[in-house]
């Protein structure tokens, strides 16, 4: 993963608007969601780093992640976002793709 380039992540996030997408999300050991299917209606990235990302789905709900520091767009088009602390440990993750994530 590489440090966030806000314009690239914003463009990729917004490419999911209007379609059904699958998300995988984690926050340390407290929250884990995999292959949650949503229809994205809004997508945002904000801040100067670490970043905040937000997805509005189905016109009703929001998923917001804070402290995002790194990203990757893999060969299958999945957008992988993660937040690492100063010791290199992942604290949060938000992955979004047009297909379900492998189990």
Is residue 102 in some structural domain? no
Is residue 13 in some structural domain? yes
The pLDDT tens digits for 19-32 are 999 998 888 767 78
Tokens of 87: 């010791």
Sign of CA dihedral 66, 10, 46, 49: positive
Is residue 66 in some structural domain? yes
Compute the residue count for the chain.
Answer: 103
Is residue 16 in some structural domain? yes
The pLDDT tens digits for 65-102 are 999 999 999 888 899 999 999 999 889 999 999 999 88
Q: What is the CATH number of the domain that holds 84?
A: 2.70.180.10
Is residue 61 in some structural domain? yes
DSSP, residue by residue, 21-84: EEEEEEETTTEEEEEEEEEEEEEEEESSSSEEEEEEETTTEEEEEEEE-EEEE-TT--EEEEEE
Q: What is the pTM of this model?
A: 0.88
């Amino acid at each position: 993963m590489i440090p966030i380039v806000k314009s690239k992540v914003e463009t990729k996030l917004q490419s999911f608007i209007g379609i059904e997408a699958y998300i995988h999300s984690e926050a340390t050991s407290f929250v884990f969601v995999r292959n949650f299917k949503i229809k994205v209606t809004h997508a945002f990235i904000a801040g100067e780093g670490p970043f905040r990302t937000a997805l509005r789905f189905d016109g009703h709900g929001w998923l917001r992640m804070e402290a995002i520091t790194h990203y990757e767009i893999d060969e299958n088009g999945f957008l992988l976002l993660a937040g690492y602390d100063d010791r290199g440990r992942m604290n949060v993750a938000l992955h979004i793709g047009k297909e379900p994530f492998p189990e």
